[in-house]
Amino acid sequence: MSNAVTDESKGRVGQFVDLMVNNPYDTYRILFYVGLTSFLMITLFPFYWLLVLAVSGGGTYGMGFLPDSVNIGVFVEIFSQQPIHLYIFNSIVIAMITVVICLVIGSLAGYAFGRVDFRGKGPLMLLLLIVSYFPGIAYLIPLYEMLTGSLTVGPFMTPDLYNTPWAMAFPFTMLTLPITIFILTTFFSQIPDGLEDAARVEGTTRLGALFRVILPLSAPGVVTAAIIVFISVYREFFFSFMMSRGNPDDWAVLVYGILAFEQQSGSQHHFMAAASIVGVIPVAVLVIFAQKHIVRGLTQGGLKE
Amino acid sequence: MGHVTLTDTTKRYEEVVAVDEMNLQIEDGEFLCLVGPSGCGKSTTLEMISGLTLPTSGTVEIAGEDVTNEPPKDRNISMVFQNIALFPHMDVRDNISFGLRLRDFEDEEIERRVQQAAKTVQLEGMLDRTPSELSGGQQQRVGIARAIVREPAVFLMDEPLANLDAKLRVHMRTEIQRLQKELDITTIYVTHDQEEAMTMADRIAIINQGNLQQCAPPLECYDRPANRFVASFIGSPSMNLYDGSASGDVLDLTHFQVDHALDLDADHNDVTVGIRPEDVYLVSSEDEPATPSTAFEAVVDVLEPVGDQTYAYLTPQGAQSDSDSVMGEGGPELLVSIDPDTTIEEEATIEIVFDREKTHVFDGETGDAIAHGVIDETVAEPTAVSAENEARGD
């Protein structure tokens, strides 16, 4: 080598660099695991911290990396304190209502944007994109007025939807519809025209072709959109908080259930942590079952045939 | 019951006229081929008949009923697509029965018809497979089965064989012909392959730039092309075309002359003469035609043996000097198909004649045919001899 420096004269760092340069394959592997571990630590640590908080039972003061004591019973105890299952049920129902509405409207809009040429399509999509970036809170006052029945349109008054699932499903639909439309538009536009033509010649209307041929063939996209909507509604706090009084009977959602521990007897953080963990389970299960579709949906969405 | 009538049917896309006032009458049970180069409007015409595209103006009638604004589902048609367009999420049985199920047929009736259709296209054992498990030919057969199972009034085919390999294409071609004769359903078949059109159709409609050029039985299009476009489009290899003028009883084609006995007036000074490669003969070859034209000399440029015949690219003697720069239509090059046993070599100078019975004359400006067979039959023999002498003296 042209470099005259011998091994002995190099410092530890120099030797390490030599080792890495001479074993690039191993180096890549090491770096990969270092990266992976860091990523997992960053994403999973909050969850672990929540778990420690839930089982140690001593409140937030003096918490260590390892729990002082392990009290698994807390996961059962929370149900006797608050009807967490009812809150979760409400969340799931509202999320499902939103998913259904979003998919129905989103399919129709996606068909128009993805498969029909019409004047003003580009500007309209741009408008949709812009609106989708508005913060939800911007709509709060008019929405609240409207959904609590205080808005009059001519001789009509809007119905009072406070404490019903519709008061939440409405703003959620509004907020998640743009992403649904974007996902479905991409998928629908990839279905070959011939298939729709074939369906129409065989005897369907355009709408029939959408539901019988285009939608089934866009299954990965539909599943992806459904899950994204479901999760974003399930974890939503702001409108859920505004549109319900907070009792399970009033369609209060999971976040209200978690907050309920605070209102009763000071702060019982370990109960809140335990409730949070229980609340995550439905979403985790959903994602595990649908992950294949989601990956396919998210990666395929960007590609054209 | 299944006749189709297009009256002034026009499709305009913004500035472009895809189909311009198309008038077509397709008889019941007829097999009509729409043929033309890419982008000529043949597929658009088919789409207007199917209802997938609505015409800008004009009407479409199927079985005597005006269906111009009816959706495809109400037109009693079925269609086979170039990209086959089977529904990938359904098995073969569901694909074939798709239209029947939409029309609320009884289950037993559906099953009976599906079995019948599968038998017709020889797919009996494959009803439970998905389209992805089938080969290209089998997929297209499912497409055809799906089309015939409803027993429509009109059968539309949009280049159904274009995506198949050459051997399968020829096989499927005969299959479709057999099926069409058997079912006796009016069929409109789109293709850009003139050979396919020639072999399959009862009549062919040649379309160019949205305009119907000629609609006639295949051999009539071949023997009596209505204009220069039809002449060059039908036939492979295509017809030799030369621009020139008609003066007296001689057609002056710049580099050589051909005599004629047509009653041409002065208006036809600007003409195009067409002669098919198989209608040009070597002088003194065995199969020299009964009605030869003036003989003239030409130099052999290239020989292309294809087995049953040899294609010779010739340059007329008079055009030797500028032959390098000009090629293709309008150029002096002459394509001749000759017997493969003929012993001629490249660079050789040979004498050739046209079969005047098979020579076509078109108006130079409009391209419309003026005459087919540049000869007055009663005076055929005498002029041939004298003309030969005249040309030699040139």
- Close Cβ partners of A240 (under 8 Å, ≥ 6 residues apart): A94, A168, A252, A253, A255, A256
Contact between residue B3 and residue B25 where contact means Cβ atoms under 8 Å apart = yes
Q: What gap in Å lies between CA B344 and CA B321, rounded to an integer?
A: 22
What pTM was computed for the model?
0.77
Q: Tell me, what's the pLDDT at A305?
A: 33
- A-chain CB neighbours of B72 within 8 Å are 197, 200-201
Q: What single-letter amino acid sits at B121?
A: V
Contact between residue B139 and residue B88 where contact means Cβ atoms under 8 Å apart = no
Task: Using 50 as the pLDDT threshold, list the residues of chain B that sit under it.
Answer: 321-330, 376-394
- Mean pLDDT on A280-298: 81
Q: Work out whether strand B360-363 and strand B369-372 pair parallel, antiparallel, or are unpaired.
A: antiparallel
Q: What gap in Å lies between CA B51 and CA B219, rounded to an integer?
A: 31
Three-class secondary structure of residue B167 per DSSP:
helix
Q: Give whichever of A60-74, A262-276, B178-192 has the largest mean pLDDT.
A: B178-192
Whether A202 and B73 lie within 8 Å, measured CB to CB:
yes
Record the tokens describing residue A206, joined without a space.
Answer: 């355009």
B137 to chain A, minimum CA–CA distance in Å? Answer: 18
B178 touches chain A (CB under 8 A): no
| Residue A9: Cβ-neighbour burial (10 angstroms; 0-12, 13-18, 19+) | exposed
The residue that leads in pLDDT, B249 or A289, is A289
Whether B78 and A195 lie within 8 Å, measured CB to CB:
no
In order of start, what are the domains of chain B with their CATH numbers?
4-223 (3.40.50.300), 238-392 (2.40.50.140)
Residue with tokens 């007829």: B30
Q: Tell me, what's the pLDDT at A59?
A: 60
Three-class secondary structure of residue B331 per DSSP:
coil
- In Å, what is the CA distance from A105 to each residue of A98, A111, A124, A234, B103? 11, 10, 16, 20, 27
Q: Tell me, what's the pLDDT at A132?
A: 86
A192 to chain B, minimum CA–CA distance in Å? Answer: 8
ipTM entry:
0.78
- Close Cβ partners of A33 (under 8 Å, ≥ 6 residues apart): none
The residue that leads in pLDDT, A160 or B331, is A160
Whether B73 and A203 lie within 8 Å, measured CB to CB:
yes
What are the start and end residues of each CATH 1.10.3720.10 domain in chain A?
Answer: 74-300
Span A29-62, pLDDT tens digits: 999 999 999 999 999 999 998 888 888 866 666 6
Topology adopted by domain A74-300: MetI-like fold (1.10.3720)
Q: Tell me, what's the pLDDT at B349?
A: 85
Span A196-248, pLDDT tens digits: 999 999 989 999 999 999 999 898 889 989 999 999 999 888 888 888 888 88
Q: Tell me, what's the pLDDT at B280?
A: 86
B162 touches chain A (CB under 8 A): no
Q: What gap in Å lies between CA A89 and CA B27, rounded to an integer?
A: 66
Contact between residue B347 and residue B295 where contact means Cβ atoms under 8 Å apart = no
Overall residue count recorded for chain B in this entry: 394
Span A86-143, pLDDT tens digits: 999 999 999 999 999 999 999 999 999 999 989 999 999 999 989 888 888 888 888 8
The overall average pLDDT reported for chain A is 85
Q: Tell me, what's the pLDDT at A60?
A: 61
Instruction: Report DSSP state, residue B239.
Output: P
Q: Tell me, what's the pLDDT at A1?
A: 46
Q: What single-letter amino acid sits at B8?
A: D
How many residue contacts between A and B have a Cβ separation below 8 Å? Answer: 60
**Please, what's the b/e burial string for B372-391 (b: 16 or more CB within 10 A of its CB; e: otherwise)?**
bbbbeeeebeebbeebbeeb
Q: What gap in Å lies between CA A78 and CA B341, rounded to an integer?
A: 100
Confidence of residue A266 (pLDDT cuts 50, 70, 90): low
Pairs from A99-102 (Cβ < 8 Å, separation ≥ 24): A99/A226, A99/A229, A99/A230, A99/A233, A101/A169, A101/A173, A102/A173, A102/A176, A102/A177, A102/A180, A102/A225, A102/A226, A102/A229
Q: Which of B168, B147, B170 is nearest to B157 (CA)?
A: B147
Q: Tell me, what's the pLDDT at A126?
A: 93
Residue with tokens 């079969």: B355
Q: Tell me, what's the pLDDT at B394?
A: 35
Q: Which H/E stretch holds residue B125?
A: none
**Please, what's the b/e burial string for A94-113 (b: 16 or more CB within 10 A of its CB; e: otherwise)?**
bbbbbbebbbeebbebbbbb
Whether B85 and A194 lie within 8 Å, measured CB to CB:
yes
Three-class secondary structure of residue B22 per DSSP:
strand
Q: Tell me, what's the pLDDT at B266?
A: 55
Sign of CA dihedral B56, B57, B58, B62: positive
Chain A interface, best mutation among B83, B114, B142, by max A CB count within 10 A: B83
Contact between residue B96 and residue B149 where contact means Cβ atoms under 8 Å apart = yes
Q: What is the secondary structure of A79-111 as a DSSP string?
A: HHHS-HHHHHHHHHHHHHHHHHHHHHHHHHHHH
Residue A4 has pLDDT above 60, yes or no: no
The residue that leads in pLDDT, A157 or B36, is B36
Q: Which of B308, B394, B298, B311 is nearest to B353 (CA)?
A: B298
Q: Tell me, what's the pLDDT at A230?
A: 93
Confidence of residue A267 (pLDDT cuts 50, 70, 90): low
Q: What gap in Å lies between CA B51 and CA B75, rounded to an integer?
A: 8
Three-class secondary structure of residue B103 per DSSP:
coil
Contact between residue A110 and residue A184 where contact means Cβ atoms under 8 Å apart = yes
Q: Tell me, what's the pLDDT at A16?
A: 86
Record the tokens describing residue B343, joined without a space.
Answer: 């012993």
A180 to chain B, minimum CA–CA distance in Å? Answer: 23
Examine residue B237 and say whether the peptide bond preceding it is cis (omega within 30 degrees of 0): yes
- The partner residue sitting opposite B103, judged by closest CB among A197, A200, A203, is A203
Sign of CA dihedral A190, A193, A199, A203: positive
